[in-house]
């Protein structure tokens, strides 16, 4: 984590400095992302261990919220948040399935184009994400709920464009980036109306990487 923060700072410091003094931005919008995934489950019993890996793809719909402060000319730093869920394949039976994720991170941005009402920027961020996967199966005699809780770190590299409406503090923000996360399984449980089981002898990793795009509004304060 400390190494990534140092790399981000050195990157923007090396490229140079020049946006507007002390501009603070609040950005919010909607986004879509597509990922290649690699999911590995490992079962351990004493000295016996068995692993199975599955490669697949996934898409997400999310709501990004970003805060940016102009630390020095051309260098913005701030906080990134993202709330959303993975999109299930409509051709499959997804009855009772649900998921959600929350991402929180820090980012630095270099402003390559700086005009009165226009910005083009390049960003680098590191983050942490919590992902919950849940499935509920209802039968005539019972209701069984399985739940997996995952957490892991990630990196995002992106570029974006901001256009303000004249002298208004409001504008549009468009960005496209490469997004990568490495999750570890923190908890796996199965609950019914009469019992609850935690699977301590299971471990898992989930690696996702792909492209993220978002569009929304930006509000600036000077």
Flag whether pLDDT at 115 surpasses 90: no
pLDDT value, residue 47: 82
Reported as a pLDDT band with limits 50, 70 and 90, residue 173 is very high
Flag whether pLDDT at 119 surpasses 80: yes
Classify residue 2 by its DSSP letter.
H
CA torsion angle 66 70 71 72 (round to 10):
150
List of domains in the chain: 2-17+29-221 (2.40.160)
pLDDT value, residue 138: 83
Cα–Cα distance between 15 and 85 in angstroms, integer?
35
pLDDT value, residue 207: 97
What percent of the chain stands above pLDDT 90? Answer: 64
User: Kind of pairing, strands 48-72 and 143-164?
Assistant: unpaired
Strands (E) in the chain, as ranges, are 24-45, 48-72, 75-86, 97-114, 118-138, 143-164, 170-191, 196-198, 202-221
Cα–Cα distance between 170 and 132 in angstroms, integer?
35
Helix segments in the chain, DSSP class H: 2-15
Count of C-beta atoms within a 10 Å radius of residue 58: 17
What's the whole-model pTM score? Answer: 0.83
Nearest to 62 by CA among 212, 217, 218: 212
**pLDDT tens per residue, range 182-210:** 999 999 888 887 777 777 788 999 999 99
Pull the structure tokens for residue 68.
């940016």
Flag whether pLDDT at 55 surpasses 70: yes
Q: Within the chain, what is the greatest distance between any pair of CA atoms?
A: 68
Q: Report the pLDDT averaged over residues 63-84.
A: 94
Asked whether 161 and 27 are in contact (CB, 8 A), the reply is no
């Amino acid at each position: 984590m400390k190494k990534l923060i140092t790399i981000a700072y050195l990157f923007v410091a090396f490229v140079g400095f020049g946006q507007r003094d002390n501009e603070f931005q609040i950005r919010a919008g909607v986004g879509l992302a597509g990922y290649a995934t690699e999911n590995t489950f490992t079962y351990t019993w004493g000295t016996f261990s068995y692993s199975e890996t599955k490669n697949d793809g996934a898409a997400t719909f999310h709501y990004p919220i970003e805060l940016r402060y102009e630390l020095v000319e051309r260098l913005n730093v701030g906080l990134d948040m993202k709330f959303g869920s993975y999109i299930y394949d409509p051709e499959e039976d997804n009855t009772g399935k649900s998921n959600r994720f929350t991402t929180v991170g820090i980012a630095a941005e270099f402003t390559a184009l700086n005009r009165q009402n226009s910005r083009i920027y390049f960003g680098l961020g590191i983050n942490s994400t919590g992902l919950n996967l849940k499935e509920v199966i209802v039968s005539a005699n019972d209701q069984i709920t399985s739940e997996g809780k995952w957490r892991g770190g990630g990196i995002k590299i992106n570029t974006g464009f901001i256009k303000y409406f004249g002298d208004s503090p409001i504008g549009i923000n468009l960005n496209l980036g490469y997004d990568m996360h490495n999750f570890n399984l923190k908890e796996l449980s199965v609950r019914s109306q009469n019992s609850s089981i935690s699977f301590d002898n299971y471990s898992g990793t989930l690696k996702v990487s792909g492209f993220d795009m978002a569009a929304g509004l930006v509000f600036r304060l000077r």
